[in-house]
Every structure is written in structure tokens, then in C-alpha cells.
């Protein structure tokens, strides 16, 4: 090595300047090539994790400026590179930090290429369970860890989850515990009511059909809400049970479901986390709701609403009008998490002569059913929040939202009505 090369080598440290860091991988490839007489293979795993962190925590421009130069030196202009493999959960061919790179072969979850290489097949998993004397757990293992779809293969299991289960012989969310959900949580949290309604359907083990571009551009995440589906699909939280081609342009429409029990648990923990600031208050509020105690509901309501508004009102276009809607849908997702074992939670469905906001149908015939209606104070039509909440209760009666419950055999005296009235960050609740 020349004196200059020795100096460059010694300067590689946590305190190095940007230029030294950007050139370091190409320099290392050069040294290896000279020593072994072979070009190097460069493997870069989870390349997009720092991209997500930069986007979430507000240093995106600084990061992309640095990483673009580093990738240019390491991949494009590196004469000592044989080939490179990069893995991550976001597709890169449109991403600005890769604009200098060409001839990329991009493989996504819907590609048939390498479709068996991203996890264990069911045949491999069941053979391993037999070897470890755990064959009686096959059905449970399938429920917990199966569900990943790559190309046309629908029996792919997560590697980390299976190896940990074979080692520890107990069920746990091994893979979910190793992943960062900060970007996903932020995007869902600040998304529109339509996105949250689709999340409600997914939490009820239902399928949604959506159109999106698998190529994610981070700078457009705030403008293109459908990017959340691409991110959730690529990261394994959702699976595409079918890809449908529509129209002359053969646009892709994806039939999505939650992947398995582990990913269901991940979503539930995420939605619970939204109420961490006032978690105990939220739980007391839900208990008051279930107990029919309107006085206690009003005692806790503003603390819950304020915490929720603070979280959800950081969206692209926050406004006083959007606050109640964000509260309502955040509240809905929380109810789905907390009450799914006791109630069937429905939202925005037809019953009688209209569409109710929330309906809680008890799984135990001894418990009461509930209908919740949300209304925003209208200064042109009402004098106070009391008028608004009465209007919400009157709408439940006039539109005969009880119809669905009555047809299900639930008696009128076991159906409780609650009206929620909003004015800015103030909430008033009444019931009958």
C-alpha cells in the first residue's frame, strides 16, 4: 500500500468525514482484490432501514445526499465488484438514492423469481417438526407462522420464527419482536378515514382489494396514501392472496389479508401503543362504556380525546373538522383490539334506513349491544353540544339502526345508544 492508501485506511473510524465513509467500501474492495486476485461480492442487507429512520425522524435530505454518493462509489463506479445483492422491504428502482444505478434486477414479493428462497416451505417446516418430535404442533405452527406469499408459493414460513420455535419449543412473536414499525405506525396513524376503515376490515380477518404501485418513493409517502399498502405487503405484514389485472392497461389490484397470528398481534400492539399516553384512562373509558356509565365516560372522555387528537392531528392536512374523524377511527381500531374477544365490532354499515358509525354486537347473549353515533357541532343548526348529542341520539332512532340487532334476536331493552358530540377538542357523550 502507498502512504496515501495507508492514511486513508487508518482514517476509517466512527469519527471519519463523509468523503472517507463514502469511499470506504470501494477502497476495501480494492484491497481485497489486490490480495486475493478476485473481484468481490458485496451483500447489503436491510439497506432501507436507515432510509425509514431518516424519513421518520426528519433528516431525509442529509441522509440521501450521503448515501447516494456512497452507493455510487460502492456499486456503480467500483471496478473491483463482481456482483452485489441488496435486500430490503421497499422496492428501489424509482428511489432517488439509486438514480445513478442501472441494470438492477428487482425481485418483489409478487415475483416468481426466487419465490422459494425467502423462507421455509411447508414441507421443510413439517419435516423439521417431525425431526424435533413436535409433529403434534403442526396446525398451531401453521396458524402462527404460515401465510407468507411469494410469487405463486403460498406456503412460505418465516425463517427466524421457525428456527426459534424449534429451539425454544414455545409459541411467540419472534419475528415481530425484531422489526421496527415506526414508519408503518406513523403512516396508519395519520392516514385518512378510508385507510383506517380498511384496517378495520383487515383486523376482522377480512380481505380488502386495493390498487397501488409496488415501487415506493419515500418523498411521496405523504402525498400518496396507497403507499402504505405497498409497504405493508413488502414487509410481510400483509399477504396478497390474489393479484388481479384490470382494464386495457392491466393495472394490478391486490387482494390483501393479514398474514398470520404474529402479524395480527403486531397490529394490535401498534394500535394499543397509540393510547400509551393515556392508556389507563382509555381502559377506564372503555370499561365505563361497557358498563353503561355515561357520567364516568364523560369524566374520562376529554383526556382520551386530547391524547388521540394530538397523535392523529399530525397528518398532512390537519383541521378542526378532521379531528373528530381521526378520533372516531382511532377509537374504532382501539375497540377492535380491546373488545374483539367479547364483541363483534362493526363500523359504517347499513342498518334500517342509514349507516351507523359503530355497532358492538355481544358474543355472549348475556351482555348488552351498543350503537355509537358521532356528530360535529354545527353552529348554523345547533346552539350547543347538548343539541348536537341529542341530534346524534335522535338519528339512531329515526334511521332505525337497531334493525340489524333486532333481526339477530337481541331484544330492544338490551340495546344501548350513545351519542358523541364534538366541538374542537371538546367531546360530550350522552346515552339512552
What percent of the chain shows pLDDT beyond 90? 21
Candidate from 90-94, 360-364, 365-369 with smallest mean pLDDT: 90-94
Per-residue pLDDT, 315: 43
Kindly report the average pLDDT of the chain as a whole number: 82
pLDDT in tens, 407-429: 888 888 889 999 888 877 778 88
Per-residue pLDDT, 422: 82
Report the Cα 322 to chain-centroid distance in Å: 21
Per-residue pLDDT, 136: 93
Per-residue pLDDT, 126: 95
Report the Cα 327 to chain-centroid distance in Å: 18
Stretch 172-183: mean pLDDT, rounded?
70
Half-sphere exposure of 220 (CA within 13 A, CB side): 14
Stretch 84-102: mean pLDDT, rounded?
68
Per-residue pLDDT, 333: 76
- Whether residue 312 contacts residue 330, with contact meaning beta carbons closer than 8 Å, is answered with yes
Question: Closest by alpha carbon to 371, among 410, 426, 326, 320?
Answer: 410
Stretch 306-314: mean pLDDT, rounded?
57
Residue 308 has pLDDT above 70, yes or no: no
Per-residue pLDDT, 123: 92
CA dist 90 and 118 (Å) reads 15
Residue 12 has pLDDT above 80, yes or no: yes
70 or 196, greater pLDDT: 70
Stretch 42-49: mean pLDDT, rounded?
88
CA dist 384 and 377 (Å) reads 7
Residue 404 has pLDDT above 80, yes or no: yes
283 or 409, greater pLDDT: 409
Candidate from 37-46, 129-138, 302-311 with smallest mean pLDDT: 302-311
Within 37-121, residue ranges assigned H as helices are 49-57, 60-71
Stretch 261-282: mean pLDDT, rounded?
74
pLDDT in tens, 117-167: 888 999 999 999 999 999 999 999 998 898 888 888 888 898 889 999 999
Stretch 343-369: mean pLDDT, rounded?
81
| Residues listed for the chain | 432
pLDDT in tens, 199-257: 888 888 889 999 887 776 666 676 777 778 888 888 788 988 888 888 887 888 999 99
Amino acid at each position: 500500500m502507498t502512504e496515501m492508501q495507508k492514511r486513508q485506511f487508518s482514517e476509517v473510524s466512527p469519527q471519519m468525514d463523509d468523503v472517507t465513509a463514502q469511499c470506504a467500501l470501494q477502497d476495501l474492495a480494492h484491497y481485497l482484490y489486490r490480495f486475493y486476485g478476485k473481484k468481490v461480492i458485496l451483500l447489503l442487507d436491510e439497506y432501507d432501514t436507515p432510509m425509514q429512520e431518516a424519513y421518520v425522524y426528519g433528516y431525509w435530505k442529509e441522509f440521501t445526499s450521503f448515501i447516494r454518493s456512497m452507493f455510487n462509489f460502492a456499486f456503480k463506479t467500483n471496478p473491483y465488484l463482481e456482483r452485489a445483492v441488496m435486500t430490503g422491504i421497499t422496492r428501489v428502482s424509482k428511489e432517488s438514492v439509486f438514480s445513478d444505478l442501472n441494470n438492477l434486477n428487482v425481485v418483489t414479493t409478487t415475483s416468481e423469481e426466487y419465490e422459494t428462497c425467502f423462507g421455509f416451505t411447508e414441507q421443510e417446516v413439517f419435516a423439521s417438526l417431525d425431526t424435533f418430535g413436535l409433529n403434534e404442533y403442526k396446525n398451531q405452527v401453521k396458524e402462527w407462522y404460515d401465510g407468507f406469499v411469494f410469487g405463486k408459493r403460498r406456503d412460505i414460513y418465516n425463517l427466524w420464527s421457525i428456527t426459534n420455535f424449534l429451539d425454544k419449543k414455545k409459541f411467540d412473536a419472534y419475528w415481530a419482536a425484531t422489526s421496527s414499525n415506526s414508519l408503518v405506525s406513523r403512516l396508519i396513524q395519520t392516514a385518512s378515514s378510508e385507510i383506517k376503515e380498511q384496517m378495520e376490515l383487515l383486523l376482522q380477518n377480512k380481505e380488502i382489494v386495493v390498487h397501488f404501485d409496488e415501487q415506493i418513493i419515500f418523498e411521496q409517502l405523504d402525498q400518496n396514501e396507497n403507499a402504505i399498502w405497498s409497504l405493508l405487503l413488502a414487509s410481510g405484514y400483509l399477504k396478497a392472496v390474489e393479484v388481479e389485472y384490470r382494464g386495457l392497461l392491466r393495472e394490478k389490484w391486490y387482494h390483501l389479508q393479514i398474514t398470520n397470528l404474529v402479524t395480527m398481534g403486531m397490529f394490535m400492539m401498534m394500535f394499543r401503543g397509540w393510547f400509551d399516553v393515556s392508556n389507563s384512562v382509555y381502559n377506564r373509558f372503555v370499561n365505563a362504556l361497557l358498563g353503561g356509565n355515561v357520567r364516568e365516560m364523560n369524566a374520562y372522555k376529554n383526556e382520551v380525546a386530547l391524547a388521540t387528537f394530538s397523535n392523529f392531528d399530525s397528518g398532512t392536512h390537519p383541521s378542526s373538522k378532521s379531528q373528530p374523524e381521526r378520533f372516531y377511527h382511532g377509537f374504532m381500531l382501539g375497540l377492535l383490539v380491546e373488545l374483539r374477544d367479547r364483541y363483534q365490532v362493526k363500523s359504517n354499515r347499513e342498518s334500517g334506513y342509514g349507516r351507523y358509525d359503530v355497532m358492538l354486537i355481544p358474543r355472549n347473549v348475556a351482555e348488552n349491544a351498543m350503537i355509537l353515533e358521532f356528530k360535529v357541532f354545527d353552529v348554523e343548526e345547533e346552539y350547543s353540544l347538548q343539541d348536537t348529542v341529542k341530534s346524534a341520539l335522535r338519528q339512531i332512532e329515526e334511521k332505525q339502526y337497531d334493525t340489524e340487532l333486532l333481526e339477530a334476536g337481541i331484544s330492544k331493552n338490551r340495546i344501548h345508544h350513545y351519542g358523541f358530540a364534538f366541538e374542537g377538542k371538546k367531546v360530550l357523550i350522552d346515552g339512552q
